[in-house]
Chain A
Amino acid sequence: MKNPTEEVQGMAEDRYWNPILERLPQERLKELQFKKFKRTISWAYENSPFYRRLYREAGIEPGDIRSLEDIKRVPKIEKGMLREVQQRDPFPYGDILAVPIEEVTTFRQTSGTTGTPVYQAETWEDWELWSEWWAYILYAQGYRKTDRVFLPFGYNIFVAFWAAHYAAEKIGCEVIPGGVLDTQARILKMKELRCSAFMATPTYVLGMAETATKMGIDPKEIGIRRITCAGEPGASIPSTKKRIEERWGCRVFDHVGATEIGAWGFECEESPYMLHINEAFFLVEIEDMETGEPIEEPNRPGKMIITTFDRLAKPCIRFDSKDVIKWADHQCACGRSFRLLDGGVIGRADDITKVKGVLLAPSAIEEVVRGVGELSDEFEVIVTKKGDIDDITLKIEIRPEYETKRDEILKRLQTELRIKTNLGYNIEVHPYHSLPRYDVKAKRFKDLRKHS
């Protein structure tokens, strides 16, 4: 922290990055979204051959959109289409590009977790939007100019925390890029410089705590006051969030975003396990996963269809993200009118799989495993077939100090898993620290049924 005495004053005086937009009544917000949607679809239709082709084939023009209801008639796009269009000119983005190629100033790409990476073109204006979206996130999570922020990530072709870096600078924080340092060096640098905040995937945040402990440093001694997580749902999973908060002795916040979409949602200081959608810049619709019927009521999960407003180089209009979300049943006490999602991103429509006839979301297993304090942070789930029957194995590690309680721990774990997921598991206990560790996004769920 740069100046600890300033923080309290700052927090009390100002709460919103943009008090006009963040407190706009919902009906006004909807009018604003409609105006922005019209402008965004017109831009895409006029400048992107991909979108023009898509809309012409569907028999729709921007002028046909006369109300928010009409938006549902606009064809959706999905990741496969974004990959396919990259085969066309101009290289390497394809004709979805809505600006001349010489206007593109930044290249990013998706991580490729679900297939061929999607290339993302950004203009200067687009990049300004990225840092603006992130400024809303960081401000809502209490970042101020008094913060010294460490960024322990690889500064590479993935969007990751690039925009967080620029947003933190925009807010006035002092930003320390922890690029090519290894985990030990990052911990030492954070301690040396008395950093007050950092950002990483939940997996890496836990891994850093483990490394610090091995180095003889209690993470709590470093003085971190807040951590912002991204890339995985962990910070919205109660048991994982609790683990991180206990290890680091600070508040942990979630944020959600994607390369193709932008940084569209964030947790604020008032509503843990909930995410605000930044409705000034994004339009989120929830659809029933089977029927496609719109879902407006709270507590009913569906998949997210999202539009980003005013992105120039590569517009993102009604993108089927496959993220599973549900509306919360209340407004946030923070005073923002932006709607809340209960539990953040609950899972992905293409991750939820049937095992022994039961629908299983990997995040449900994480919640149980991370809720058993005697287990380490790592685990792995492997689904195979034995003959015609699904078989599910959970690999875990027991912390050395609890080895003597192994039978009791396994019994409790099996019961909790049964309650939470309605499934029985083969549980394998592996030596402490033998399961794979991950620096960025973890791959803990492996469905091998198609290959066995």
Chain B
Amino acid sequence: MTLNDLQQTKDAELAARKRIVLRCCLAASCSSSGSKGVKERLEKAVSEAGLQGEVEVRGVGCMKLCCEGPLVAADPANTLYVKVTPDNAAAIIAALRGGKCTLPQADPGSPFFALQEAIVLANCGVIDPERIEAYIAADGYLALHEVLAEMAPKEVVDAIVKSGLRGRGGAGFPTGLKWGTVAKSPGAKKYIICNADEGDPGAFMDRSVLESDPHLVLEGMAIAAYAVGADQGFIYVRAEYPLAISRLQNAIRQAKRVGLLGSGIFESPFNFNVDIRIGAGAFVCGEETALMASVEGKRGTPRPRPPFPAERGLWDCPTLINNVETFANVAPILRRGADWFAGIGTEKSKGTKVFALAGKIRNTGLIEVPMGTPLRRIVEQMGGGAPAGGAIKAVQTGGPSGGCIPAPHLDTPVDYESLTKLGSIMGSGGMIVMDETTRMVDVARFFMEFCMDESCGKCIPCRAGTVQMHQLLEKILARRATARDLAKLEELCDMVRNTSLCGLGQTAPNPVLSTLRFFRNEYEELLQPELHAAPPLTAKA
């Protein structure tokens, strides 16, 4: 593959493009509500109407408004049909010919779509994720070519540093700094890992990216590999994402076939191979050291850091490990420039962030917004607020490691620092909205149960502490607890947070702590009076 070949592929793809495109979402959410059948009927209807020369029915990735699926979009009219059934196919074709259409539609100009800014999701729901030509036609792999042909590895690292990109897995570590550390670590063999073990309840950003634009992630990984001097990559993806796995496998196969992965990429001396490792369903394997143990074929348990993966990771070699969304930002940054990227977002949080909107909200789905967007804009304008006119009570971010942000703080801008200040975290992008019917102690109990079940069992505070915290929460909910139990719960939160081995345990108390901070009255309302007076602390003289 050369730059010329890349251009030819793009030209051929654009030349073959038909006047009208019917985009049919085939990502996990829509296909689980029957979008495959919709696509088949659309194809049939097109050929029956003799429109094959004019209309293309294209299977695409996520079109974001998941709650209204199956979704079908008609270009260039920019019509978005919602809740499409196979029987609607004929009506959609008729509408293409100028007929009157009574099918339910969503307004592509509504705030849900208009307020989005797509970098990571630019191709999502637009291109066919199963064809590498479609990705190339959207300027795919151009950045990789430029990097290999014109940039030294150090320059690539510098560009990422300059862009201000921070890890999208949750903690927000500066990506360029991490790349620089791996690049500087001595060692002939280095590895790249893409963490696609997305496990937070209510989070589906990474799944959507992998299902909708797998080549974007592969290109980002290849660029990273060149920058740090690695030649082997692994994508660790959970087994619960079969569609993402099959699209990745397909994408890797295609990229290898045309020479965009493998040996001598773009006729340079750079080699890079990617393999998939499938997780067996343990949440803790999203923690980087546990993930690496799992890739090595061992029991997926974390180990103390340091040494950090950048020094000693996979098989003790320097390893760069980034999240799916982080890698997905890489190619756009190099294609459009670090300054362009650094111009989006806030002073310390650059670029955009993808969120999965879920819970008690009208528009559930996938959104990508610039960093610093106020939470209120996301949940009220874009999300449409709570269904049936209810009031939003809180927004949970960061999954079991995060916290609840109460309604009075909805004007908080979404960036790493602001969310941390409120006792929550940016997290990987799950955003669960709660309305007045949600009991906050219930929420805390739910997440504690999750952490208890997902604790690997290696360190005592997390293994046994989550069990006791869960029991105390159950006791509070059953109205059997007293103020002393609540004090015990708070003491355990402090202990588990400070003494646990890995991030899972260290952040497991967060949902309790943040609900206690803003909704303490809900806990206190459930407490019972003490049956016995507290024993004297010191013996009487």
Chain B binds chain A? no
Q: Which residues of B contact A (CB under 8 A)?
A: none
Which A residues fall within an 8 A CB radius of B?
none
